[in-house]
Amino acid sequence: MKAFDKGMITLSFLYLALPTMMFLFGWLKPLYAIILVICLSLSVFSAIQDFESVGLFRDYRHFMSEAGAPALVAVLIVLLWVGFSGIGGFSFQNSDFLLRNAVFHDLISYRWPVIYSYLNQGGFPPYSGHEGALVYYLSYWLPAALVGKVFGWQVANLALYLWTAVGVLLTLYLFFRHERKSPLVLTIIFIFWSGMDIVGELIGRHIPFWGEHIEWWAGLFQYSSNTTTMYWVFNQTITTWLAVMLLMNFKNTKSILFTYALVLPFAPFSFIGLAPFVVTYIFLGPMSQGNIQKLSKLKPIILDNLKQTINLRNIVVAPVIIIVFLLYFRSNPSNLGSSGLLWSAALGIGTVKTLIIYLLFCLLEFGIYALIIGDVFKRNPWFIVAAISLLLIPNYYAGVYNDFVMRASIPALIILMVYVSRFILSEVTIYKKRRLKIYLLIFMFIGAITPIQEISRSVYMRFYHPNHLITDEIGTLSILDAKRIGAIKIYVGNDPNKSLFFKYLAK
């Protein structure tokens, strides 16, 4: 079955690279686009060739006997899960879709790059009398938007649903590839992985109603469940999951920086959150290597990893991708909102209260899980980096709604999930471990209330309010009015030709 594995790895790299190629062709001057797309294509080909494929099963019969039926059930569950996210317009769409659908509309309706003319629209400085450019993490929509340019809005939504489902299935395949456990069980863990938000809500003396969004119980920050990120910010989530799972399956560092760079076009904050794990890989080896090695054994590992890392796709193509997209995002610095250290921002609330909330947040969102499995993985560098990252991330805020905390935490939360699932699914050899598994399962069931809330709200709205499936009142960002100005400030860069990207790189 190596051919099947090779095919899935190929699809995973193409899934990350194709939207970036489309952006380069759509936004850059033709000569720059052609050169970069050729370099990117060659890098993808090399990355696929250097990826070590494995034969998970002896043959097709072995596959069907070991994973066939559970895998098929897992696929059906994923298709339903994605369907109830609102992606594709098959089910209720959360309020974030209001702006994301406007971006999707404009990517379909306008030529790329998307430029708005506000020359004859007054009353909303500084945009009135100027041009604006759509500047956002929009790469995820590009394949479906291209379909929409040919076949229209409805087909574009179907394409977006299929694109998302494929991304999730690739992620879960890589999860299965790494852990070699039941694909059905791993899928269930993945969908219902979450911190214990319900406990935070109850401590705050609030009993949530059925289907209520309960992620914001801490007020200052949020670590989102997998279902929450899928149902609210899929455009930043799917590719981050996929890149993390690819990184976990690497056996060498030949494509590590290149793969890392492919995250930036989709999710800048997740790109930052993934950085510690990239550094950990280069200096301490892959996740499969296990515990931290003695310094005498570590030196040759570091030297070998650094030697493997030095190639054109890592030290040339990856930095170019990063520079291009950083310049593009800098064309609209307002979409980052304010930023700074949390503790300086929280002085008005009171640092003692903030500290209590922070400690409770860390305990409920990841700390209890980490403490239970910590004795087993305390010498594993990946587990240590994940725990430290999740402790540090809330101490900084950035973005209009503190997006940094919510999105920079995605890689660490996924990696913690992998270790928790490994602990749960490992063979029980001692009573203490059996008892800890029971405790861990209880806490995971409590945490599962968060994704159940998200899914149940979507199911309820789908069947009892079927006329409100697509949140599409804004429609476009090309009109300056009171309804759209808040979105325009986030998604549109004013006077784009004054920025380095649009002045020198964009067509």
> Mind listing the pLDDT tens digit for each residue in 454-488?
999 999 888 877 665 667 888 899 999 988 998 89
Mean pLDDT of 364-388: 94
**285 is written with which tokens?**
């080896």
What angle separates helix 410-425 from helix 153-179, to the nearest 10 degrees?
50
Please give the tally of structural domains in the chain.
Answer: 1
Q: 436-471 burial, b for 16+ CB within 10 Å, e for fewer?
A: bbeebeebbebbbbbbbbbbebbeebbeeeeeebbb
Q: Are 360 and 218 in contact (CB under 8 A)?
A: yes
Q: Is residue 289 exposed (0-12), middle (13-18) or buried (19+ Cβ within 10 Å)?
A: middle
Per the DSSP assignment, residues forming a β-bridge with 398 are: 339
Q: Are 470 and 93 in contact (CB under 8 A)?
A: yes
pLDDT digits (tens, 9 = 90+) for 157-194: 999 999 999 999 999 999 999 988 889 999 999 999 99
Mean pLDDT of 273-291: 80
Please measure the distance between the N-terminal and C-terminal CA atoms of the chain and give it in whole angstroms: 45
Distance (Å, rounded) from C-alpha 496 to C-alpha 494? 6
Q: Are 384 and 419 in contact (CB under 8 A)?
A: no
Q: Are 437 and 373 in contact (CB under 8 A)?
A: no
pLDDT at 59 over 90: no
Distance (Å, rounded) from C-alpha 164 to C-alpha 19? 13
* The dihedral sign for the CA sequence 389, 394, 398, 404: positive
Of residues 303 and 20, which shows the higher confidence score? 20
The two beta strands, 339-341 and 115-117, are unpaired
- In sequence order, which ranges of 267-329 are alpha helices (DSSP H)? 268-284, 295-309, 312, 318-329
Residue 475, H or E segment: none
Q: What is the pTM of this model?
A: 0.93
Closest by CA position to 319, among listed 401, 372, 240, 262: 262
**201: DSSP letter:** H
Average model confidence (pLDDT) across the chain: 89
For residue 390, which amino acid is it?
L
Per the DSSP assignment, residues forming a β-bridge with 116 are: 132
Mean pLDDT of 420-436: 81
Mean pLDDT of 200-211: 88
What band does 398 get if pLDDT is binned at 50, 70 and 90? Answer: confident
What domain range includes position 252?
Answer: 2-505
The residue length of the chain stands at 507
Distance (Å, rounded) from C-alpha 211 to C-alpha 25? 42
pLDDT at 105 over 80: yes
